Amino acid sequence: MSIRLSDGTEIPIEMHKIRIVQKTRLAPVRERLRAMEEAGYNTFLLRSRSIFLDMLTDSGTNAMSDNQLAAMMQSDDAYAGSESFYRLEAAVKEIFGYEYVLPCHQGRAAEHLLAKTFVKPGDIVPMNYHFTTTKAHFDMAGGKVLELYTPEALKAESACPFKGNMDLGRLKAAIDKAGPKSVSFVRMEATTNLIGGQPFSLQNLRDVKALIEPLGIFLVVDGSLISENAYFIRQREAGYEKTSIRDIVREIMSIADLCYLSARKSASVRGGMIATNRKDLHEAIRPWLPLYEGFYTYGGMSSKEIEAMAVGIREMTEVEVAGASADAIKYFVGLLLEKGVPVVTPAGGLACHVDAMRFIPHVPQSEYPAGALAAAMFIVSGIRGMERGSVSMDRDKDGNDVPSDMELLRLAVPRRVYTMSHFQYAADRLKWLYEHRELIGGLAFYEEPPVLRFFGGKMNAKGNWGLPLAEAFEKHFGPDC
């Protein structure tokens, strides 16, 4: 939630009390430089003990609620027929209005099951934007991911409230070209992770459904950030200002044929699921669950996490929870705009996204500006962000780099974890970095996995630019900062 102060300023206000904390430490800049070098300029390969604030991701890093922790104590560890599963099933029915639910260990497991069941070689899979693991699974099944976003989606600076909308004209043209039988399904991601956490509108979702339903194509929603998408609909879509998040989530689900999600995000727990009212879809996927994940009633999740998920999907529809990170991100983005740092606007759902193309235009895309900015940010602040640019794109079949549509440093805001002073610190260090941006250079791979290279790849800083950057920082702030 945000609250207005007497002078008119709006600030995000925590609608919770902090009762358990984790200690953190700000290592000196030279130590951070060493850690970054050892990690091959890849923030994924840093050890947690070198990190001051971890803004790598909001996945599995949210603060859980007292009610979630309490629910874990009543878990039923039965291999088959666990009562914990039936409590989850009841919560899914209550919140999503869906009859059938298949738990799985996380979002990418759901994607694997969907790919295995529905994506045939030569198929197309239209979507508003891809996510890394989504694309990898659908590609591996022989499908072709088509990203049919509107022109506004890739404009870093924009006032468009729904940059996650599907372009209906492009969707129709793609289906006409491929033929409806070659469309596995249409996927809509609730806040497009890789291009700024941007929502789709309910109207757009309805229009997509109206177009594909008569053709026998079903609609899948990736609901990993469903509560944030619903929160933006409430704030930005005419007619929904007074609708509860719960009712908006329910309406999204009534339009979709199937929803899968990583419960590590909106639901603040470590797990995933696939849910639907369509018996045919459910029965097509179900046989694969025990083979790849685990028995039908646990699907690779611990029963404790299943209990916490049942509570999490109810709590995520409370407006204070749905808005917990969205309002903090809005504040964080506002601070950066005031300081002239180029960021993606409007503020999105999971992170503050810094536009590396405008931040360091002197670093060409072939030298991975978003990766370089993520490394530089860590060196000057101890804050770990994530590269969301060309490093996150795997090479094509001929071994060529695939330049990403955008080059973003993603500073994720896990729900209920960081406070205003953390955002002020982060914004200050980014401002300092922006003022010294000429010190940041490019990166080159020296170790590169064949798939999802951003997780394990290692790079060199071209010209060893990390050292002069750390020296300049040390000169300004002293050796202990």
Q: Specify whether 355 is catalytic.
A: no
Q: Which of 131, 298, 359, 465 forms a contact with ligand PLP (CB under 6 A)? A: 131
With vertex at residue 159, the alpha carbon angle to CA 334 and CA 348, rounded to the nearest 5 degrees, is 55
Provide φ and ψ at 354, rounded to 5°. Answer: -90, 135
Selection from 475, 462, 479 nearest residue 376 by Cα: 462
Q: Which of 43, 193, 201, 229 forms a contact with ligand PLP (CB under 6 A)? A: 193
What is the rounded distance in angstroms from the CA atom of residue 417 to the CA atom of residue 435? 29
Catalytic residue among 54, 58, 222, 355: 222
Q: Specify whether 257 is catalytic.
A: no
Sign of the Cα torsion 80, 83, 85, 86 reads positive
Selection from 283, 298, 317, 300 nearest residue 97 by Cα: 317
Does 126 sit behind a cis peptide bond, omega within 30 degrees of 0 on the bond before it? no
Q: Specify whether 388 is catalytic.
A: yes
Catalytic residue among 52, 85, 129, 131: 131
In eight-state DSSP terms, residue 463 is: T
Q: Which of 40, 107, 346, 348 forms a contact with ligand PLP (CB under 6 A)? A: 107
Please, which of residues 31-60 interact with ligand PLP by CB under 6 A?
59
What is the rounded distance in angstroms from the CA atom of residue 354 to the CA atom of residue 250? 33
Residue nearest to ligand PLP (CB): 107
Q: Which of 108, 144, 388, 410 forms a contact with ligand PLP (CB under 6 A)? A: 108
Q: Specify whether 446 is catalytic.
A: no
Shortest CB 109 distance to ligand PLP, Å: 7
381 binds ligand PLP (CB under 6 A): no
262 binds ligand PLP (CB under 6 A): yes
Catalytic residue among 264, 265, 429, 453: 265
353 binds ligand PLP (CB under 6 A): no
Shortest CB 221 distance to ligand PLP, Å: 10
What is the rounded distance in angstroms from the CA atom of residue 465 to the CA atom of residue 459? 13
Strand partners, 360: none
With beta carbons less than 8 A apart as the criterion, state whether 387 and 454 touch. yes
Selection from 30, 79, 150 nearest residue 299 by Cα: 79
> Which region among 61-69, 104-112, 286-294, 305-313 touches ligand PLP (by CB under 6 A)?
104-112
> Which region among 101-109, 327-335, 356-364, 413-421 touches ligand PLP (by CB under 6 A)?
101-109
Q: Which is nearer to ligand PLP, 106 or 268 (CB)?
A: 106
Phi-psi sector, 479: left (phi>0), alpha (psi -120 to 50), beta: alpha
Mode of pairing for the β-strands spanning 386-388 and 408-412:
antiparallel
Q: Specify whether 222 is catalytic.
A: yes
106 binds ligand PLP (CB under 6 A): yes
> Which region among 20-28, 102-110, 281-289, 407-415 touches ligand PLP (by CB under 6 A)?
102-110
Q: Which residues bind ligand PLP (CB under 6 A)?
A: 59, 106-108, 131, 133-134, 189, 193, 222, 224, 262, 264, 272
